[in-house]
Amino acid sequence: MGITAVVIVVGMDQPGIVAAVSTVLASKNINIRDISQSYAHEFFTIILIVEFADDSGTIKEVETAIKDALRERDMNLFVSIQHEDVFRAMHRI
């Protein structure tokens, strides 16, 4: 079992964001375990909890791949992927 990571995508809402991101994740054999989204003032935030497989590549590589995929579709969005440990460390005693 590979690492669990948190993918955050933020930006102007438009059709196809989830599709673009999940296509990249699927192509890298990354499993989506949970998706949350919120929508405020035309800004769309999506958070995906994902599970890397051994052959998925590094976090940085996947982050770059998602950024490239969004850029190809003319989507100007903030993307970051972080290891889940960051959030567990900061927000749990």
Partner 1 sequence: MNGEEPNERHASEFSSREIFMEEILETKRMIEEQGLDVRTITMGISLLDCIDASLDRIQEKMREKITCFARDLTQVAQSIENDFGIPIINRRIAITPVSLLLGALPAVQSINYSGICGMLNITDLIPGEAIDACISIASTLDAIAKELQVDFIGGFSALVHKGFTKESLCLIRSLPEVMKTTERVCASVNVGTSRDGMNMDAVKVMGEIIHNIAMATADHGSIGCAKLVVFTNAVDDNPFMAGAFHGIGEPECCINVGVSGPGVMRNAVSHQKNVDFESLAESVKKTAFKITRVGQLVAREASKRLNVPFGIVDLSLAPTPRPYDSVAGILEEMGLEMTGGPGTTAALALLTDAVKKGGLMASSYVGGLSGAFIPVSEDTGMTRAAEAGILTIEKLEAMTAVCSVGLDMIMIPGDTLPSTISGIIADEGMIGIMNNKTTGTRLIPVIGKDVGDHVSYGGLLGESVVMPVKKTSCEGFISRGGRIPAPVHSHKN
- Contact positions vs partner 1 (CB under 8 A): 6, 8, 10, 33-34, 36, 38, 45, 47, 49, 58-60, 78, 80-83, 85-93
**Residue 61: partners with Cβ closer than 8 Å, 6 or more residues away:** none
Q: How near is the Cβ of 51 to partner 1 at its closest, in Å? A: 10
Q: How near is the Cβ of 16 to partner 1 at its closest, in Å? A: 22
Distance CA 84, CA 62 (A): 15
Q: How near is the Cβ of 54 to partner 1 at its closest, in Å? A: 15
Phi, psi angle pair for 60, to nearest 5° = -65, -40
Distance CA 89, CA 93 (A): 8
With respect to partner 1, which residue has the nearer C-beta, 29 or 64? 64
